[in-house]
Amino acid sequence: ALILGIESSCDETAAALVESDGTIRAHQLARQEDAHRPYGGVVPEIAARAHVEALGPLIEAALAEAGVTLDDVDAIAATAGPGLIGGVMVGLVTGKALALAAGKPLIAVNHLEGHGLSPRLGDRSLEFPYLLLLVSGGHCQLLLVEGVGAYRRLATTIDDAAGEAFDKTAKLLGLGFPGGPAVEEAARRGNPRAVPLPRPLVGSGEPHFSFAGLKSAVARAVGQHSAEDLAASFQQAVVDCLVDRTRLALQGVRPTALVVAGGVAANSAVRTALESLATEHGLRFVAPPLWLCTDNAAMIAWAGAERFAAGLTDPLDFPARPRWPLDPDAEKVRGAGV
Ligand code: ATP
Ligand code: MG
Ligand code: FE
């Protein structure tokens, strides 16, 4: 089956066409970084308006890239949340309109499921169950992925997300927006042992994450060290937290692989450290290619393909959801709105 995917939950507008065998027929993406940069972060109203302008042409470009029309598409998958509600509505309403006009089924995709299944698009041999470290701009969770729609949450952050910590640190260091890649770049020229920073919750038996204290410690150290040393030391602290918490989670599960996804999975220090952890446990390590880590529509089309194969489609009145957790209790209320 050929699935059209639409993504608009944050500041990337994207459209992609993906086959159920994982062939990516087209992927188109427009970033809004320049529009948000003057504000140092994503402005929801600006984002929503930019999605309205960008999405139609991107969908047309994706269809042209694949050399198909809407008639050739078997289903339309659109992100229905979680995310900035204005942007989510733009993408979801567009998906619904196309589904209605072309008489195709709609698949309302949880953006986090898009991130969570993207490693299976990157590596078609990855099988359930796998231990997923989902590290993105709004989330930091460990999930046992037992199947499509079957996620057991083992850990989550009690304050900031990992990507949020990168973005706030970039701001504190004057490295600009978006922050994650800028911090990684600066860290390359710094000493990860230069600045003593806390590793919140490391060693704790509670399977959770915390990054707020780390960010505050960076704020206190600004001016006393170079931005490069601060970036490198911060990044090392985040890596140590992610590895320690993942190691704890590995004690209680028997996965086929250790998997990382989400924007922070694009960070090479994070990837390298998790790969070592996997090796330590005799596990395969799977991380999507870098472009599939940050927001894109191929992962939404792919999650749509996985759901479509499982016979899961959604009604046209499916609501846009600003919040939509990815665990069994939330799945029970799927379709009920939040
Ligand atoms: P969510 O998926 O939780 O709704 P989001 O969609 O905004 O949030 P993603 O697009 O998955 O988040 O990831 C963006 C985040 O990833 C940002 O916080 C960004 O700073 C971070 N990020 C991107 N590249 C890197 C990198 N190389 N190193 C560290 N962080 C990175
Ligand atoms: Mg973004
Ligand atoms: Fe995301």
Q: What is the interface pTM, i.e. ipTM, of the complex?
A: 0.99
Nearest CA to ligand 1 atom 2: 136
Cα(206) to ligand 1 centroid in Å equals: 25
Task: State how far the Cα of 103 lies from the Cα of 97, in Å rounded to an integer.
Answer: 10
Does residue 198 surpass a pLDDT of 50? yes
Beta carbons of 277 and 258 less than 8 angstroms apart: yes
Does residue 331 surpass a pLDDT of 90? no
DSSP 222: B
Count of alpha carbons within 13 angstroms of residue 193, beta-carbon side: 0
Mean pLDDT of 95-99: 98
CA–chain centroid gap for 307, Å, is 18
Does residue 338 surpass a pLDDT of 90? no
Residues 6+ apart with CB under 8 A from 206: none
Helix (H, G, I), strand (E, B) or coil at 146: strand
90 is in an annotated binding site: no
Find tokens 């499509």 and name the residue: 148
119 lines ligand 1 (CB under 6 A): no
81 lines ligand 1 (CB under 6 A): no
In terms of pTM, does the model score above 0.80?
yes
Strand partners, 24: 18
Mutate to test the pocket of ligand 1, among 214, 295, 324 (most ligand atoms within 8 A of CB): 295
> Of 33, 73, 71, nearest to 50 (Cα)?
33
Cis amide linkage into residue 129, ω under 30° from 0: yes
* Band (24; pLDDT cuts 50, 70, 90): very high
C-alpha dist (Å) from residue 170 to 36, 146, 160, 225, 235:
15, 35, 14, 14, 11
- Across the chain, the runs of DSSP E, i.e. the strands, are 2-7, 12-19, 24-31, 75-81, 106-110, 130-135, 140-147, 150-156, 257-261, 284-286
Angle, to 10 degrees, between the axis of helix 227-250 and the axis of helix 212-221? Answer: 160
* CA quadruple 124, 278, 295, 92: dihedral, nearest 10: 60
Task: State how far the Cα of 240 lies from the Cα of 245, in Å rounded to an integer.
Answer: 9
* Band (328; pLDDT cuts 50, 70, 90): low
- Residue 33 sits at φ, ψ, to 5 deg, of -50, -45
Beta carbons of 232 and 194 less than 8 angstroms apart: yes
Beta carbons of 228 and 186 less than 8 angstroms apart: yes
The percent of residues in the chain predicted with pLDDT above 70, rounded, is 97
Mutate to test the pocket of ligand 1, among 9, 136, 183 (most ligand atoms within 8 A of CB): 136
Beta carbons of 305 and 277 less than 8 angstroms apart: no
* Band (327; pLDDT cuts 50, 70, 90): confident
Beta carbons of 73 and 102 less than 8 angstroms apart: yes
160 lines ligand 1 (CB under 6 A): no
122 is in an annotated binding site: no
Beta carbons of 167 and 152 less than 8 angstroms apart: no
> Of 53, 73, 113, nearest to 261 (Cα)?
113
